[in-house]
Structure 1
């Protein structure tokens, strides 16, 4: 039996209203308030940039071009709805009983499920899989739940958010900041410490620089301490008071919308795990598991974002769930690989990576074992449009004492997601620097840059491109 946290408690905030809708929809965070609507809004922003570039390629248009937020969100939500319906149909075809209720353990091998009307039903099973995911975190400051929104709200927001303050520096924060700026909105990002914690920090700073080129303003080393409503509306006007993390300095700013993207909290609490002895981390609220996704209680397994120390990514959860089902019921032995996980930050200039960051590679291996090959590059699509020739960047991290095996792959450039996916498969096969050198590149593409890497960081040579 799979336990998912479907039925939500009622509340007054706009986030709660959206979350209630989400809880009635199949597909989880990714489909409803994550990857899918995010990628489509990212695409909307890219189309805006393409309109600008098109003039250099000979396209002429005289009438005013503007973006309609309502048209975009309606189309996106219609697509999300079609996915929800498809998942429901797939469950029926597989004869899976879907129960939309709030589940909690009451004793070993037994749960209570409470639906939206308060009706309770009890279920027993030999094995359980917990996949309750996470929900957006609030700051616990005055006015946050009353006046702020989260990414869960943004993707179905019925009005254009206007001038927006994004609080946070996670990939969710930067992706939202990126597509909002790409749609022509004034965007400020308030950063407590570093950008993209857990990612390669050189790449993170390059992502930040690319957003600044787009017009995103960064307010570094500040945290909000109060949000006040100055004017109601759709959107209204909000005043944000923020305090420096390095001193007593405070700043104030006025925005139409404040978007909180400061992380997500595990939904592993309040589902009765303590009644059956499933261990939950006191610090993170996540569930530790072994290499076969088994919790501290042998008949209870867990997959997805609620796992302690595992990547919080939908494809990882899907893969782990598939392999778990095969091990439990199909006689298979394969385990999920949580190291070589490809992922992409869908900022307007995408950042794709697989394997280790430079920081993590230096921890896992001796620093003298590593060789980093890198270069800036200029996509041919950018040349005629005369876009910046030293923004896109590629690097690989190799283990010199393991046949120069590629243990880290990083690219900042157009279509980084499509590029990273292919190289991730190669890394699963033991990709080495020599194999890259022996591969013929497809010209002219961005991906071919990895077949011609020559300059190492240790050599200290200039990798800047010339042109424009």
Structure 2
């Protein structure tokens, strides 16, 4: 039986991070994953999504070029060419990780692993034993089991499409659904978003939802919110979405399920060794990712909080340092201050508390600073345009910045530095004393003047 210091089940962002860092400290590590290395992020998530987003971004900017007197002629999108280039890029990343693990001395077994006990796994007809076991199996798209569900595709399927639909219904108004909606609309598809939520990006600050709605309207993306889907009907190429109120939408050439993701924690032996699972399949863990079974750890999407690639990477690296390099004084991941971006059109960004969350915690000690403006990039546009919008949520007598929320071009690149400021406990005065970079959109965050008291639900004020 092969003996290791660490057994890692899952070759995605979190699993690779803990394997890489532990091997760098001299540990003997083995990684199991039947799929290409890189996990969801590399194969069906962040990377192919951002590559596709760039194509849509270039198309959108080309359409506005004439506002600056730039004459462009476009013959459209060569989508098969984009797909081919994207596949080649992802294969390069898969190959990179395979070679990198080999150089690190990490064993990679492209098989599905099954826990036999808290120290032993079985894969490919062999058994392997480790001092510690890390579960990092990630998640997969949810497809609701309702009539006609097989007529809908998922985000995983999207990245395998060789052509684009002329019309599509996207079921779900979270970040995956709206990212897909923005890209497909930029590519020319007629897009309808159908969701049971009352507002898009319901998990974000209400300002973000409200302003993004205005952008969706400007782009011609149809929305049916507060609508519960009860099934799909019709046939491939002409699918109708059936709503619980008796109405229908469509027919659509394609339908995309974007109603969330579920953890891949079933049928890998967790129950048999006594690892606790919540009803939704996520794994409760302590601050150092340990499950209720000593020696068995879990990280990444399967723990049910912070389901983002950088969070899984941070958790994996810090865990390895905690075990093998305590002199580095590693600290657990703080899940309360995770910066996040949705690559909608335009992007949204957030770090820290929403306004309602801050009010629930700090009450009348919350003050909010916010702004809306057009930005120089659309200075010559005719008619009303959806704005860039920014909000600072401040709390306490010193007005510590506890939340930042933004919608607009380039906010994805702006947020990283401001996230450092929030992490360090910056106050509104710190922002005020920072010299702005002019002319930029980012400078608005350090020049905000007028505040208002925080409210538990500021949507009405934003309207």
Using the size of structure 1 for normalisation, the TM-score is 0.87
Could you tell me whether the CA contact under 8 Å between 2:8 and 2:136 is conserved in 1?
yes
- 2 CA distance for matches of 1:238 and 1:437? 54
Counterpart of 2:30? none
Counterpart of 1:135? 140
1:91 to 92, 101, 108: 101
Could you tell me whether the CA contact under 8 Å between 1:162 and 1:186 is conserved in 2?
yes
Say yes or no: does 1:382 pair with 2:387: no
Say yes or no: does 1:29 pair with 2:34: no
Shift of 1:186: 0.3
Counterpart of 2:310? 315
Shift of 1:419: 0.4
1:274-303 CA distances to partner (integer Å, 9 max, x unpaired)? 121111112x21001111111101201111
Shift of 1:136: 0.4
Q: 1:389 to 1:367 in 2, by over 3 A?
A: farther
Counterpart of 1:12? none
- 2 CA distance for matches of 1:382 and 1:6? 43
Counterpart of 1:19? none
Counterpart of 1:293? 289
1:347 to 333, 337, 344: 344
- 2 CA distance for matches of 1:455 and 1:257? 47
- 2 CA distance for matches of 1:133 and 1:78? 23
- 2 CA distance for matches of 1:422 and 1:2? 36
Say yes or no: does 1:277 pair with 2:274: yes
Aligned counterparts, 1:258-273, within 5 A: 258-273=255-270
Counterpart of 1:73? 83
Counterpart of 1:366? 362
Could you tell me whether the CA contact under 8 Å between 2:368 and 2:451 is conserved in 1?
yes
Say yes or no: does 1:121 pair with 2:126: yes
Shift of 1:4: 2.9
Aligned counterparts, 1:14-413, within 5 A: 24-61=35-72, 63=73, 65-114=75-124, 120-145=125-150, 147-194=151-198, 195-230=200-235, 232=236, 236-244=237-245, 249-282=246-279, 284-308=280-304, 310-331=305-326, 332-363=329-360, 365-386=361-382, 388=384, 391-401=387-397, 403-413=398-408
- 1 CA distance for matches of 2:34 and 2:167? 29
Shift of 1:459: 10
Aligned length: 429
Q: 1:459 to 1:202 in 2, by over 3 A?
A: closer
Q: 1:257 to 1:438 in 2, by over 3 A?
A: same
- 2 CA distance for matches of 1:2 and 1:370? 47
Shift of 1:202: 2.5
Shift of 1:93: 1.1
- 1 CA distance for matches of 2:454 and 2:180? 37
Could you tell me whether the CA contact under 8 Å between 2:364 and 2:453 is conserved in 1?
no
1:376-428 CA distances to partner (integer Å, 9 max, x unpaired)? 02211110244745521100100123x21100011111011100011001112
- 2 CA distance for matches of 1:161 and 1:102? 34
| Secondary structure of the corresponding residue to residue 283 of structure 2 | coil
Shift of 1:155: 1.7
Which structure has the higher relative contact order (CA within 8 Å, separation 6+)?
A: 2
Q: 1:252 to 1:409 in 2, by over 3 A?
A: closer
Shift of 1:352: 0.5
Listed as ranges, the gaps of 5+ residues in structure 1 are: 8-21, 115-119
Could you tell me whether the CA contact under 8 Å between 2:233 and 2:239 is conserved in 1?
yes
Could you tell me whether the CA contact under 8 Å between 1:406 and 1:430 is conserved in 2?
yes
Q: 1:27 to 1:6 in 2, by over 3 A?
A: closer
Shift of 1:351: 0.5
